[in-house]
Amino acid sequence: MGALPRKRTLVNGERNPVEAAVPARSPIGNTRDRVLEEIAVHINGDTDIVAARQKGRVLAGTLGFSSSELTLIATAISELARNIVLYAKQGEIVLRVLERGEQRGIMVRAGDQGPGIPDVRRALQGGFSTSRSLGLGLPGVRRLMDEFEIESRVGYGTTVTARKWKR
Amino acid sequence: MDRLPGEYERALGTYLQQGGESSLKQAYELGRRALSEGRGILDMIGVHQQVLEKILINGQKADTVHQAGEFFAELMSPFEMTHRAFGEANDTLRRLNESLESETRRIARSLHDESGQLLAAVHIQLRQMARGLSTAAQSNLVEVESLLEQVEQQLRNFSHELRPTVLDDYGLLPALQTLAEKFSKRFGLPVSVDGKVAPRLSKTIEAAMYRVAQEALNNVARHAKASRVNIRLWRAPGEFHCCIRDDGVGFDPVAVAKGSRNTLGLLGMRERLNVLGGTLRIESTPQQGTELKILVPVEA
């Protein structure tokens, strides 16, 4: 992992945050990115999705993202949290303010210990013939954010990491 | 029964009074649902407008419009995802078309050049063989040579159909004139090509236009019962135009678009032009011929 977060807040703190089943080691970023702030939101249902969206909007707001960018970030959080509720029942959304060189940005990481995704490539293609044919879900998140990584193991869980940098 | 306006009105009303992320999420979820129900962007704008007007008539403060705009953005955010997906798909299609064309060009060239050289070598060998043979055997060889020439002609035709070298070497107008000549000979149907295409168009547009014209002529030969065809090309600032007109039996474009017959050809033409941001307009009346009007944006 990279530098220690300066500040870590747990939302819905009385519950233990679920440790992501797949250690989040990302090929880009982690070692270079400095974490300025971190908020973790336990996801167990609709109200948690609202909390995660709201925290994400506030964190990203401090970076000076435009209001339509804030909407897109909230959308990405919604889609990731929705997947947790839908497929894993519960999990965690971690939000971070990052610094990479001159750039600042926000990271959204969704982790769960759910069933995992058997065919990650297909899930990302959002093939125009499947139920994801509208390009929502994971492919949608990939298109809204600047960086996107996913690690999934069947039977162990899924971790999705997405970042958006302030221009 | 359309539930969306009512639900949107309630959610927007709550947001305007209390704000809050959960109303925003609701707008987002409504947008997501509307999208999967197949609703369009203008439809959403209509719903928002209708609801907003209703709320404003009931009398609220001035920054309502601004706040409602933020709310509306949530409703539309799922559409943004799909819109981006479409953009990506379109780029992929364009790249696919380009690589298909360059692959076709490669095959056409090697069909023409490499097999041409091989066949020339075979001819020389045959002639050398002929010297030592009896007259009877020689006349057999003459037959073999004439068959070989037919093979050569066929290969040239295939190569040309795949990718006319004249298109790459001289541009769209000469290529279409050659295509028209061959077509006229084959179907006994005069095709005139006129216009101006200087300066040359990009390779991608030239290839697409050539294929579209080829498909249009095929359609005329198959269905139109025409006695003449005219292809007109011209450039306007930032635009390239092509008009293909025949005096055949015509058809009802609406009926053809609904039925499955021949729509693949028209669909293929549309797809090729869509990728370039171009359009195809079909004007046809039964018994009065057909006119295809093609417009492709070009860099001025």
CATH number at residue A131: 3.30.565.10
Least confident of A21-25, A135-139, B162-166, B220-224: A21-25
Domain presence at residue A139: yes
How many angstroms separate the CA atoms of A141 and A24, rounded?
A: 18
Minimal Cβ distance to A136: which of B32, B86, B88: B32
pLDDT of residue A20: 44
In a domain, A2, yes or no: no
Q: In angstroms, what CA-CA distances link A95 with A8, A10, A28, A47?
A: 10, 10, 17, 17
pLDDT for residue A5 is more than 50: no
Asked if residue A145 has pLDDT above 90, the reply is: yes
CA distance B157 to B36: 49
A82 within some domain: yes
pTM (two decimals): 0.67
Predicted confidence (pLDDT) at residue B255 exceeds the cutoff of 90: no
Q: Do the chains contact at B84 and A49, CB–CB below 8 Å?
A: no
Residue pLDDT, tens place only, B137-150: 888 888 999 999 99
pLDDT at residue A1, rounded to an integer? 41
Q: Is residue A122 part of a domain?
A: yes
A37 within a domain of the structure (yes/no): yes
> Over the range A62-87, which residues count as b (16 or more CB within 10 Å of their CB) and which as e?
ebebeeebbbbbbbbbbbbbbbbbee
Distances, alpha carbon A62 to alpha carbons B67, B251, B263, in Å = 20, 62, 54
pLDDT score of B258:
63
Decide: A88 and A158 in contact? Cβ < 8 Å: yes
C-alpha to C-alpha distance for B101 and A103, rounded to whole angstroms: 41
pLDDT at A22: 47
Q: Three-state DSSP class for B282?
A: strand
DSSP B238-255: TEEEEEEEE-S----HHH
Q: Which residues of B touch A135 (CB under 8 A)?
A: 81-82, 84-86
Is the four-CA dihedral B23, B24, B29, B31 of positive or negative sign?
positive
Nearest CA in chain B to A124: B85
Q: Looking at chain B, which residue has its C-alpha nearest residue A68?
A: B73
Does the structure show a pLDDT above 80 at B119?
yes
Asked if residue A1 is part of any domain, the answer here is no
Which chain A residue's Cα is nearest to B85?
A135
Quick one: pLDDT band at residue B298, thresholds 50, 70, 90? very high
Is residue A105 within 8 A of residue A164, CB to CB? The reply is yes
pLDDT value at A38 more than 60? yes
Specify the DSSP element, H or E, that contains B67: helix B64-131
The domain total for chain A is 1
**pLDDT tens-digit profile of A82-132?**
999 999 999 999 999 999 999 999 999 999 999 999 888 888 875 544 444
Q: Which domain holds residue A18?
A: 8-165
Q: Is B187 exposed, middle or buried (0-12, 13-18, 19+ CB in 10 A)?
A: middle
Q: Pick the residue of A11, A65, A136, A146 with the most B CBs within 10 A to test the interface with B by mutation.
A: A136
Q: What is the pLDDT of residues B10-53, one digit of tens each?
A: 999 999 989 999 999 999 999 999 988 888 888 899 899 889 88
Residue listed under structure tokens 């707008």: B27
Picking from B61, B47, B63, B62, the residue whose alpha carbon sits closest to that of residue B10 is: B47
- Name the residue facing B78 among A51, A53, A136 (closest C-beta): A136
| Distance, C-alpha A3 to centroid of its chain | 19
Token output for A93: 């959304």
pLDDT top residue among B288 and B26? B26
Q: What is the structure's pLDDT at A133?
A: 59
Q: Identify residue A120 by its one-letter amino acid code.
A: V
Give residue A138's identity as a one-letter amino acid code. Answer: L
Residue A17's pLDDT band (boundaries 50, 70, 90)? Answer: very low
A149 in a structural domain:
yes
